[in-house]
Structure 1
Amino acid sequence: MLIRYGYEMTFGCAAPTPMVCQLDVHPSCSPAIRAETPFASNPRVESWLYSDVFGNRCRRFLAPPGDLTISNYGVVEVSDRPDPVVPDAAEIPVADLPDETLLYLVGSRYVETDKLSQLAWDHFGHTASGWPRVQAICDFVNAHITFGYENARSTRTAYEAYVERTGVCRDFAHLALAFCRCMNIPARYANGYLGDIGVPPDPAPMDFNAWFEVFLGGKWYTFDARHNMPRIGRILIARGRDAADIPLVNSFGPHVLKTFSVVTEETDSVASPPLAGVPSRSAA
Structure 2
Amino acid sequence: MKIRAGFNLGYECTQPTPMLLALNIHPSRRVDLLSEQVLTFDRDIEAWNYMDGFGNACSRILAPPGLTTISTSFDIYDDGQPDIIPEHAVQHAIKDLPDDVLVYLLGSRYCDTDRLADFAWQNFGTTPTGWARVKSILDFTHDRIVFDYNRADSTRSAYGGFMDQTGVCRDFAHLAITLCRCMNIPARYCTGYLGDIGVPQDPNPMDFSAWFQVYLGGCWHTVDARHNKPRIGRILMATGRDAIDVALTTNFGPAQLVRFEVITDEIIDA
The question of a shared fold, defined as TM-score above 0.5 by the shorter chain, is answered with yes
Aligned counterparts of 1:141 and 1:253: Cα–Cα separation in 2: 35
CA distance, structure 1, for counterparts of residue 203 and residue 263 of structure 2:
13
Asked whether the 8 Å contact 2:12–2:67 carries over to 1, the reply is yes
Give the whole-Å Cα distance in 1 for the aligned partners of 2:131 and 2:137.
Answer: 10
Aligned equivalents of 1:110 and 1:86: distance in 2? Answer: 26
Query: Quick check: 1:221 aligned with 2:221?
Result: yes
How far did 1:236 drift?
A: 0.4
Post-superposition Cα deviations, 1:247-283, rounded to whole Å, max 9, x if no partner, equal 11100000110011001111146xxxxxxxxxxxxxx
1:42 matched residue in structure 2: 42
Partner AA of 1:199 in structure 2? V
Taking the aligned partners of 1:211 and 1:139, their CA distance within structure 2 comes to 14
What are the residue-to-residue correspondences of 1:269-280 with 2, within 5 Å? Answer: none
Instruction: Please report how far the alpha carbon of residue 44 of structure 1 lies from its aligned counterpart in structure 2 after TM superposition.
Output: 2.5
Partner SS state of residue 115, structure 1:
helix
Which residue does the alignment assign to 1:71?
Answer: 71
Alignment of 1:22-101 (within 5 A): 22-36=22-36, 38-101=38-101
Secondary structure (helix, strand or coil) at the match of 2:243 reads coil
Alignment of 1:1-284 (within 5 A): 1-36=1-36, 38-268=38-268
SS state of the match for residue 181, structure 1? helix
How far did residue 38 of structure 1 move?
3.3
| Residue deviations 1:166-203 (CA, integer Å, cap 9, x gap) | 11101100000100000000000010000001100101
Distance 1:128 1:201 in 2: 36
Identical residues among aligned pairs (%) = 52
Judge conservation of contact 2:10–2:69 (CA < 8 Å) in 1. Answer: yes
Match of 1:203, SS state, is coil
Instruction: Pick which of 39-48 and 242-251 moved more.
Output: 39-48
CA distance in 2, matches of 1:154, 1:185: 25
TM-superposed CA distance for 1:48, in Å, is 2.0
How far apart in 1 are the matches of 2:206 and 2:39?
Answer: 20
**CA deviation profile, 1:42-63 (whole Å, cap 9, x unmatched):** 1221112100001101111111
**Alignment deviations for residues 72-131 of structure 1 (CA, whole Å, 9 cap, x no partner):** 010111111100012111101111111111110110111111111111111111212111
For normalisation by structure 1, the TM-score amounts to 0.93
What do the CA deviations read for 1:224-250 (whole angstroms, capped 9, x no partner)?
000100000000000001111111110
Aligned residues: 269
Moved more, 111-120 or 34-43: 34-43
Deviation sequence 1:115-153 (CA, Å, 0-9, x none): 111111111112121111101101100110011111111
1:77 maps to amino acid: Y
Task: Give the match's secondary structure for 2:195.
Answer: coil
What is the one-letter code of the residue matched to 1:78? D
Q: Secondary structure at the match of 1:35?
A: coil
Structure 1 position 37, deviation (Å):
5.1
CA distance in 2, matches of 1:37, 1:108: 31
What TM-score, normalized by structure 2, do the two folds share? 0.98
Task: Report deviation, 1:20.
Answer: 0.9
Where do 5+ consecutive residues of structure 1 fail to align?
Answer: 270-284
TM-superposed CA distance for 1:10, in Å, is 0.7
